[in-house]
């Protein structure tokens, strides 16, 4: 499976991979369904890619907050801000 990463102007990529993995794992741990289908895994990967992108736009290992990810997720799934 491939999930495209958002294009951003990177300030610092330190911590971007950690942000991706922590977002992906948090999504798995907080989902109430016991099995994950391809659509759900793609959704988790898309949000995780957004977390990494947000992190890369900041200096240092500075991951997004849960609120920032919720706002990014709302934009990703509705196409609006």
Any domain includes 41: yes
pLDDT at 77: 56
Any domain includes 28: yes
- HSE-up (13 A, CA, CB side) for residue 6: 22
Any domain includes 30: yes
Any domain includes 8: no
The Cα-based distances of 45 to 5, 51, 66 in angstroms read 9, 10, 15
User: Residue 24 in contact with residue 48, Cβ under 8 Å?
Assistant: yes
**pLDDT tens, position by position, 17-67:** 999 999 999 988 888 777 889 988 998 999 999 999 999 999 999 999 988
pLDDT at 51: 95
Mean pLDDT over residues 63-78, rounded? 79
Q: What is the count of structural domains for the chain?
A: 1
Range of the domain at 50: 16-78
pLDDT at 80: 46
Any domain includes 34: yes
Any domain includes 49: yes
pLDDT at 8: 93
Any domain includes 1: no
Any domain includes 10: no
> Does residue 2 surpass a pLDDT of 80?
yes
């Amino acid at each position: 499976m491939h999930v495209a990463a958002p294009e951003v102007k990177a300030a610092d990529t330190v911590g971007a991979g950690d942000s991706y993995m922590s977002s992906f794992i948090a999504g798995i741990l907080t989902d109430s369904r016991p099995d994950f289908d391809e659509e759900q895994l793609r959704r988790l990967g898309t949000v995780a890619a957004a977390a990494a992108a947000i992190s890369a736009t900041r200096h240092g290992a500075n991951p997004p907050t849960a609120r920032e990810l919720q706002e990014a997720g709302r934009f990703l799934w509705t196409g609006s801000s």
